[in-house]
Amino acid sequence: MTDSPVFVFFNEYPVFPVIILTSDLLSFLPIIILIYISQVAPLHGNCRFILCTWAIGLGAVIAADLAMAMVDLENDTGFMAMSMFHPLLIALNSSYVKSTAMRVKLYKFDVTCATFSSSFEIVLSIERIISVIRPRQYHYSKTAWKTMIALAIALMACGYLIDEALHSEDEYLTLFANVALGIIELSVLVVGAIASSVCGIRYRSLYGISSLTERYQAKEAYEMSKAMIPDYVISFIIKGTTVTAIFLYVTFIKDGYLTGFVQMYIVMTHAFYIIFSTTNLLVIHPLLRKHTHRKLESLMNLKVKQEAKRESLKSDTETYFSMLSVSWNK
């Protein structure tokens, strides 16, 4: 494999690291915008906390990918990664052991954060369902800080345990971790679809028989759950292929020189999904779109065009009342 012209080219020239650095730096922009807009938009505190934590988790994934690109740039043996899980098996050169061991730590951190973000997508859907059960009470309730923080810690611990199993030398634990990752991604899609359906039904059932506050809360929950559906679908497709790639690499691929190509695929799917999901949410969700539009207008010094009101002409007014008088006299 090392004699392959393709491998030699990418190992001699920093093509992959530069592409990763560029795409990941671009990925940070919509994440920052989403976190900022979610602070100014009138979202419930629980929804805002989950949304921001989810975005921060995506940012941590990008940070790990950036760090891996920096490690690749400093490789003494070239710009291609050559080991993902077992550095000492091929890192016979002592100068290579340190960078490879660092990459293994970054891989583990990357998987932990990605699992954490996916888990919070499920939490967001569940929170939306809870918000429409008793919408008025939920609307006026405060942010459940203790519950939210405890949940975040528990999900981070869960991601860490799955990551440890994934990077274990035990094949059964590795298989279990891959199955767990697949179940999480499938649950994101299923629970998201259920949340969108439940919130939509609840919102329509409240129309005309409830207060404005209840309808507003139900509508906000429905709009958020509906806006996340495209993210869940793309997440399932992209992350599903990523889980498959990791499983095939760990189980069947014994050639460590393919690591660089596997790494490039995984990192680029991260960047694409993060850019798509955050941008899609800012564009589709009405409240987020409204406040994003306002901020962009203020930054670009654009004036909102006001529709000119049509002035009533005297002749039109006289004609109208003349016709009305005729109809009355009939």
pLDDT tens track, the chain, 330 positions? 556 787 778 778 888 888 989 998 999 999 999 999 999 888 888 888 888 999 999 999 999 889 888 888 877 777 777 665 444 444 444 455 566 677 778 888 888 888 888 888 888 888 889 888 888 888 888 878 788 888 888 888 888 888 888 777 777 887 888 788 888 888 988 999 999 999 999 888 887 777 888 888 888 888 888 888 988 888 888 877 877 777 777 666 655 667 778 888 888 888 999 999 999 999 988 888 888 888 888 877 755 444 444 444 445 445 544 554 544 444
Which distant-in-sequence residues (6+ apart) come within 8 Å of 317 by Cβ? Answer: none
What pLDDT, on the 0 to 100 scale, is given for residue 165? 83
Residue among 135, 131, 111 nearest 123 (CA): 131
Instruction: Give the number of domains in the chain.
Output: 1
What pLDDT, on the 0 to 100 scale, is given for residue 197? 92
Residue among 52, 214, 289 nearest 222 (CA): 214
Look up residue 276 and give its amino acid: F
Provide the residue count of the chain. 330
- Contact between 197 and 254 under an 8 Å Cβ cutoff? The reply is no
CA distance 75 to 87: 14
* Owning domain of residue 54: 5-329
Which distant-in-sequence residues (6+ apart) come within 8 Å of 3 by Cβ? Answer: none
Buried b (16+ CB within 10 A) or exposed e, 140-166: eeeeeeeebeebbeebbebbbebbebb
The CATH number that applies at residue 292 is: 1.20.1070.10
The pTM of the whole model exceeds 0.85: no
- Contact between 31 and 57 under an 8 Å Cβ cutoff? The reply is no
- Neighbour tally for 139: CB within 10 Å: 17
Look up residue 121 and give its amino acid: E
- Neighbour tally for 172: CB within 10 Å: 9
What pLDDT, on the 0 to 100 scale, is given for residue 312? 46
